[in-house]
């Protein structure tokens, strides 16, 4: 029997009707019966008379399926066996309390980056991006389904999501923000998708999956000259259903409803809520769902939202607010835009590697997560933040180092230590460990020459001094009761105590 690895994509494909508009005039469904019951999923039209249905089996064992719907007068039947997950395949990521884990229970600590349209660049550049990602700096990447029209992003993408012809951009680039929205001169048929465009996105999702990187897919965004952000309610819903039918079976997909949702001026909260409902109804696997803001943080307490995806709303205060957001929303917090490492004009993309890494540690120590981006000019107009390519900054290696430290957390992740000194950020292991045996103290911009610890007499701790910038962990042996730890008087130092 055909074998499908657990949490991998099973795909059925076959010919169907083509009269009229196959994207809108016909339906196709798959009904899958397996060891844990049955699931009905939607398929999609992929052009050239071909229809496809995708399914991700979540339980090992035998499956049967039927493919049916108005696309064909016949019902197709089949079967396959779901085999155990291979090494490195842990299933989709789930929210658990204030943290994340894979479906097989392995802890997942988001260390994200942002390359908005790396997937719409030429193959050579896409491969360069993948080569950087293989170095293991990040385990999540945010990118867009739609092409991007923005500062540094004025060229044509390799494909468009619809049949039609784009506006010719007729604008003198003075370095300011270009005009946006549905510029006059676009000719699109919003009822006919361009399958090649979506196949490109899928290929990227799959390639990321192979190297263990989650695809935080931005389904809508306002950086637009083609009118994709200004479609009607019916056109939006058609788009969402197509996206959900095509991408849901990839285990590493996350749904980011929008980047800067509040800049999509023609959408209302009712629209976003409707999209949230559409995802819940049409993604049978319950992938993570979030929505990212510009100036107005969304109400992340909404039940369909699995975790907070927040852009900082202040130039200076960023991940310092993670613990407040945890309290406010009771969900995992990812600060998905906190200013990028770089040197561009705009204040959202020109901090140092040191400051970005500091913000990452601050997020981690407050029990949340941060996201990287890089915006250096002077590299043939290729900016990692948008196009991918080569990394030029100093933060990625340090982010990977933080990841190594985080993976050593016992229990269910970190949370801010309530009874810490007022002059430090300190975390303990969350969940089962409570305030007991695992402490991280981080000093950020402060540069203590030593720190005094007052623990209970007789309590012994293994002490390590961590240089978060130089990426070293120095063993300071076992200490007991009240003890002082010397530090080098530099910024970005941390101390770890583990009870022995």
Binding to a copy of itself (CB under 8 A) within 38-57 occurs at none
Task: Please tell me whether residue 365 binds a copy of itself under the rule CB under 8 A.
Answer: no
Sign, Cα dihedral of 88, 94, 100, 101: negative
Task: Please tell me whether residue 170 binds a copy of itself under the rule CB under 8 A.
Answer: no
Binder among 87, 423, 456, 457 for a copy of itself (CB under 8 A): 423
Minimum Å distance from CB 355 to a copy of itself?
5
Question: Tokens standing for 225?
Answer: 């000259």
CA–CA dist 463, 479 (Å, integer) = 7
Which residues partner with 308 through β-bridges? Answer: 333
Task: Please tell me whether residue 182 binds a copy of itself under the rule CB under 8 A.
Answer: no
Q: Does residue 335 contact residue 319 with C-beta atoms inside 8 Å?
A: yes
Task: Please tell me whether residue 467 binds a copy of itself under the rule CB under 8 A.
Answer: no
Q: Which residues contact 376 (CB under 8 A, 6 or more apart)?
A: 341, 342, 343, 344, 383, 384, 392, 393
Task: Please tell me whether residue 175 binds a copy of itself under the rule CB under 8 A.
Answer: yes
Residue 200: left if φ>0, alpha if ψ -120 to 50, beta else—which one? alpha
Q: Please, which residue, 184 or 378, has the CB nearer to a copy of itself?
A: 378
Minimum Å distance from CB 35 to a copy of itself?
51
Q: Does residue 4 contact residue 80 with C-beta atoms inside 8 Å?
A: yes
Task: Please tell me whether residue 454 binds a copy of itself under the rule CB under 8 A.
Answer: yes
Task: Please tell me whether residue 448 binds a copy of itself under the rule CB under 8 A.
Answer: yes
Minimum Å distance from CB 425 to a copy of itself?
7
CA–CA dist 206, 200 (Å, integer) = 10
Binder among 135, 155, 277, 447 for a copy of itself (CB under 8 A): 447
Task: Please tell me whether residue 86 binds a copy of itself under the rule CB under 8 A.
Answer: no
Task: Please tell me whether residue 484 binds a copy of itself under the rule CB under 8 A.
Answer: yes
Q: Please, which residue, 5 or 320, has the CB nearer to a copy of itself?
A: 320
Question: Tokens standing for 438?
Answer: 């695992």
Q: Are strands 333-337 and 369-370 parallel, antiparallel or unpaired?
A: parallel
Task: Please tell me whether residue 135 binds a copy of itself under the rule CB under 8 A.
Answer: no
Binding to a copy of itself (CB under 8 A) within 321-350 occurs at 339, 342-348, 350
Minimum Å distance from CB 312 to a copy of itself?
11
Question: Tokens standing for 18?
Answer: 């083509």
Q: Give the Å distances, CA to CA, from 388 to 123, 182, 382.
A: 11, 26, 7
Q: Please, which residue, 161 or 367, has the CB nearer to a copy of itself?
A: 367
Binder among 155, 187, 265, 317 for a copy of itself (CB under 8 A): 317
Q: Please, which residue, 351 or 466, has the CB nearer to a copy of itself?
A: 351
Task: Please tell me whether residue 315 binds a copy of itself under the rule CB under 8 A.
Answer: yes
Task: Please tell me whether residue 419 binds a copy of itself under the rule CB under 8 A.
Answer: no
Give how far the C-alpha of residue 320 lies from the chain's centroid of Cα atoms, to the nearest Å.
21
Minimum Å distance from CB 300 to a copy of itself?
22
Q: Please, which residue, 61 or 489, has the CB nearer to a copy of itself?
A: 489
DSSP labels, 255-287:
EEEESSGGG-TT--HHHHHHHHHHHHHH-TT--
Angle at 410 between CA 407 and CA 412, to 5 degrees: 90
Query: Footprint of a copy of itself on this chain (CB under 8 A)?
Result: 174-176, 295, 314-317, 320, 339, 342-348, 350-352, 355, 362, 377-378, 421-425, 443-452, 454, 482, 484, 489, 491
């Amino acid at each position: 029997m055909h074998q499908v690895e657990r949490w991998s994509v099973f795909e059925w494909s076959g010919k169907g009707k083509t009269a009229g508009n196959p994207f809108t005039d016909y339906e196709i469904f798959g009904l899958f019966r397996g060891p844990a019951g049955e699931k009905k999923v939607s398929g999609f039209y992929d052009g050239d008379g071909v229809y496809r249905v995708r399914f991700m089996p979540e339980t090992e064992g035998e499956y049967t399926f039927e493919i049916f719907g108005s696309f064909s007068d016949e019902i197709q039947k089949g079967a396959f066996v779901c085999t155990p997950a291979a090494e490195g395949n842990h299933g989709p990521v789930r929210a658990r309390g204030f943290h994340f884990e894979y479906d097989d229970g392995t802890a997942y600590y988001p260390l994200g980056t942002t390359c908005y349209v790396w997937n719409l660049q030429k193959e050579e550049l896409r491969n360069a991006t993948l080569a950087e990602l293989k170095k293991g700096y990040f385990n999540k990447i945010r990118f867009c389904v739609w092409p991007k029209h923005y500062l540094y992003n004025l060229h044509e993408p390799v494909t468009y999501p619809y049949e039609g012809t784009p506006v010719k951009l007729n604008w003198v680039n003075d370095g300011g923000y270009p005009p946006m929205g549905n510029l006059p001169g676009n000719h699109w048929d919003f009822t006919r998708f361009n399958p090649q465009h979506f196949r490109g996105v899928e290929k990227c999702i799959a390639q990321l999956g192979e190297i263990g990187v989650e695809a935080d897919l931005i389904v809508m965004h306002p950086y637009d000259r083609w009118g994709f952000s200004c479609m009607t309610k019916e056109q939006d819903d058609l788009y969402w259903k197509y996206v959900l039918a095509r991408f849901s079976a990839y285990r590493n997909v996350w749904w980011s409803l929008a980047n800067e949702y509040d800049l999509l001026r023609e959408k209302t909260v009712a629209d976003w809520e409707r999209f949230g409902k559409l995802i819940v109804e049409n993604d049978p696997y319950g992938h993570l769902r979030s929505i990212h803001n510009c100036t107005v943080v969304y109400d992340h307490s909404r039940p369909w939202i699995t975790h907070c995806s927040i852009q900082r709303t202040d130039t200076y205060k960023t991940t310092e607010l993670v613990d407040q957001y945890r309290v406010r929303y009771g969900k995992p917090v990812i600060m998905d835009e906190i200013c990028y490492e770089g040197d561009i004009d705009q204040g959202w993309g020109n901090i140092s590697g040191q400051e970005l890494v500091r913000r990452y540690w601050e997020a981690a120590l407050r029990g949340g997560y941060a996201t990287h981006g890089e915006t250096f000019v002077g590299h043939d107009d290729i900016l990692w933040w948008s196009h991918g390519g080569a990394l030029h900054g100093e933060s990625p290696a340090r982010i990977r180092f933080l990841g190594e430290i985080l993976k050593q957390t016992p229990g269910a992740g970190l949370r801010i230590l309530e009874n810490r000194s007022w002059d430090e950020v300190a975390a303990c292991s969350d969940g089962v460990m409570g305030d007991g045996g695992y402490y991280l103290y981080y000093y950020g911009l402060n540069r203590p020459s030593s720190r005094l610890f007052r623990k209970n007499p007789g309590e012994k701790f293994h002490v390590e001094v961590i240089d978060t910038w130089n990426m070293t962990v120095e063993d300071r042996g076992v200490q007991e009761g009240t003890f002082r730890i010397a530090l080098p008087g530099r910024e970005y130092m941390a101390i770890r105590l583990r009870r022995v």
